[in-house]
Chain A
Amino acid sequence: MNRVVITGIGVVSPVGCGLNEFWSALVDGRSGIRAIENIPTERLSTRIAAQVLDFDPNTHFEPRRVSQFDRFSQFAVVAARAAVRDAGLEIDEELALEIATIIGTGAGGHVTIDDSYLKLYGENAAKVHPLTIPRMMVNAAASQVSMDLGLKGPTFTTATACASGTHAIGQAFHMVRLGQAPVAIAGGTEASLTVGTLKAWEALRILSNDTCRPFSKNRSGLVLGEGAAILVLESRERAVARGAPIYAELRGFGMSADAVDLISPDPDGAARAIRSALSDARANPEDVDYVNAHGTGTMLNDRTETKALRSVFGKHADKLAVSSNKGVLAHGLGCAGALEAAATALALHSQIVPPTANYEEKDPECDLDVVPNVARQTPIRSAISNSFAFGGLNAVLVLGRA
């Protein structure tokens, strides 16, 4: 079995599209949550989100091709290009045939769907845009990445709501580990901030109207985000042979289903995914120093995640640094796990734990060391990154120092 390493990272995020901007915002706890722009908000009761604002598709795509892309595919392609560039990966004919491309997304092309329904039902238009279907299909991002970079190997989409990006990276990790692909381009993308989708989230009554405060007693719910993160994974042997930079090693991946409730998370399901990931990595709980939490900032998730971590890590739980990136990035749904895996790799690379931003009040039900507001330089040997999706689908990655 191959050891698998991360050699390239590309992000499109609410706090910037460069890796340095992204990482410095996370370390400084500088939040990308702001008043919603570019979307009519008169009918919304929640008017905050973490949007990707400095993104002009016309600077990334030929103007005559832009109409082929939904926003979620644009994000994925731009992040994938950046990741490949970052890895210094030369893709020749032979390698192109073998690279796996696995891109997670929760929603697919919601901007396209929203636009077409507005025309159809709102404006009584007789027709919608001819590329509505190929733009909105949930695999469009994976297809666009493969076409843009000329990747001809196994290519598909994982769709597990808030765990989509994590499932994609985990699957890609297993393929490279087993030698099914020498290199994988994997991550997640999401761009579902539309009036229709925001109204649907409002109806669930779990959105915050001020900001996202993971693990803080006065947390008031989740805030929606968007973006993409794509990683380049390859065998350690290959990376070392070509002298590639290595951010971190991917060591394990675990999955589980709660099989309990459509929206409420379950501590047992989460704990089973964490245990399975540690076992896949052949790691002991004591080997882990940092947990990049799912930490959505809802009452229930943060309490449930704390319980799950305590049940897996026992006494060692009090030695863990646990932080959520969602105070800064909000909840990017299908891209959240990928942005957070990127953050976890950068934490291992720099040996800095990014803080839980916007933290204000201790909650006895979230009594782990959540690294409130201030980053921490500390030895990190191994870390886990948690994603727990609606529908009770859980995915956890174990990463180690390169």
Chain B
Amino acid sequence: MDVLYEVKQIIAKQARVPVDQLTADSRLEALGIESIDVIEIVFAIEEKFGVTLPFNANESAVAEFETIGKVADAVKAVVGEKAAS
């Protein structure tokens, strides 16, 4: 599965913007994504990939998911773990 592609789809849906406007460098904040949206994005990713992201709203600020690329990296890290185990 192309992780970046899927993450873009999920974020485009949450931000209500056309997916072709998004790149790995797109900043979540610039898309108007707020902390409440991040919770929903994390949930959608977990459902899509069947994984659990180590995301705690107390520690992982929105800053950690600054760009779409960073979200994809976080997903790859967990998906990789899952594939390896």
Binding site for B on A (CB under 8 A): 203-206, 208, 219-221, 261-264, 298-300
- How far, in angstroms, from A203 to B47 measured CA to CA in the complex? 12
Q: Mark B35-56, 1 if CB is under 8 A from A, else 0.
A: 1100100110000000000011
* B45-79 interface with A by 8 A CB criterion: 55-59, 61
Nearest A-chain residue to B40, judged by Cβ:
A203
Residues of B within 8 A of A300 (CB): 57-58
Interface size class of B (residues with CB under 8 A): 10 to 19
Q: A261-B34, A264-B35, A264-B36 are in contact. Are A204 and B57 (CB under 8 A)?
A: yes
Residues of B within 8 A of A263 (CB): 35-36
Name the distance in Å between B85's Cβ and chain A's nearest Cβ. 18
> Are B35 and A206 in contact, with the CB atoms below 8 A?
no
> Are A203 and B58 in contact, with the CB atoms below 8 A?
no
> Are B58 and A219 in contact, with the CB atoms below 8 A?
yes
> Are B34 and A205 in contact, with the CB atoms below 8 A?
no
Q: A205-B39, A261-B34 are in contact. Are A220 and B57 (CB under 8 A)?
A: no
> Are A220 and B58 in contact, with the CB atoms below 8 A?
yes
Name the distance in Å between B47's Cβ and chain A's nearest Cβ. 11
Name the distance in Å between B42's Cβ and chain A's nearest Cβ. 7
Nearest B-chain residue to A221, judged by Cβ:
B58
> Are B36 and A205 in contact, with the CB atoms below 8 A?
no
Sample (18) of A-B pairs whose CB atoms are under 8 Å apart:
A203-B39, A204-B39, A204-B57, A205-B39, A206-B58, A208-B58, A219-B58, A220-B58, A220-B59, A221-B56, A261-B36, A262-B36, A298-B57, A298-B58, A299-B57, A299-B58, A299-B59, A300-B58
Residues of B within 8 A of A206 (CB): 56-58
- How far, in angstroms, from A220 to B59 measured CA to CA in the complex? 7
Name the distance in Å between B51's Cβ and chain A's nearest Cβ. 14
Name the distance in Å between A161's Cβ and chain B's nearest Cβ. 15
- How far, in angstroms, from A261 to B61 measured CA to CA in the complex? 16
Name the distance in Å between A259's Cβ and chain B's nearest Cβ. 15
Nearest B-chain residue to A263, judged by Cβ:
B36
Q: Which of A205, A220, A300 has the most CB of B within 10 A?
A: A205
- How far, in angstroms, from A204 to B42 measured CA to CA in the complex? 10
8 Å CB contact of B56 from A203, A220, A261, A264: A220
Name the distance in Å between A25's Cβ and chain B's nearest Cβ. 25
Nearest A-chain residue to B43, judged by Cβ:
A203
- How far, in angstroms, from A205 to B60 measured CA to CA in the complex? 10
Residues of A within 8 A of B59 (CB): 220, 299
- How far, in angstroms, from A305 to B31 measured CA to CA in the complex? 28
- How far, in angstroms, from A264 to B55 measured CA to CA in the complex? 17
- For the complex of A and B, the 4 pairs showing the least CB-CB separation, nearest first, are A221-B58, A205-B57, A299-B58, A206-B57
Residues of B within 8 A of A221 (CB): 56-58
Known: A220-B56, A220-B58, A298-B58. 7 other contacts (CB 8 A): A205-B57, A219-B58, A221-B57, A261-B34, A263-B36, A298-B57, A299-B59
Residues of B within 8 A of A299 (CB): 57-59, 61
Nearest B-chain residue to A204, judged by Cβ:
B39
- How far, in angstroms, from A298 to B36 measured CA to CA in the complex? 15
- How far, in angstroms, from A219 to B43 measured CA to CA in the complex? 23
- How far, in angstroms, from A264 to B48 measured CA to CA in the complex? 26
Residues of A within 8 A of B55 (CB): 205
Residues of B within 8 A of A203 (CB): 39, 43
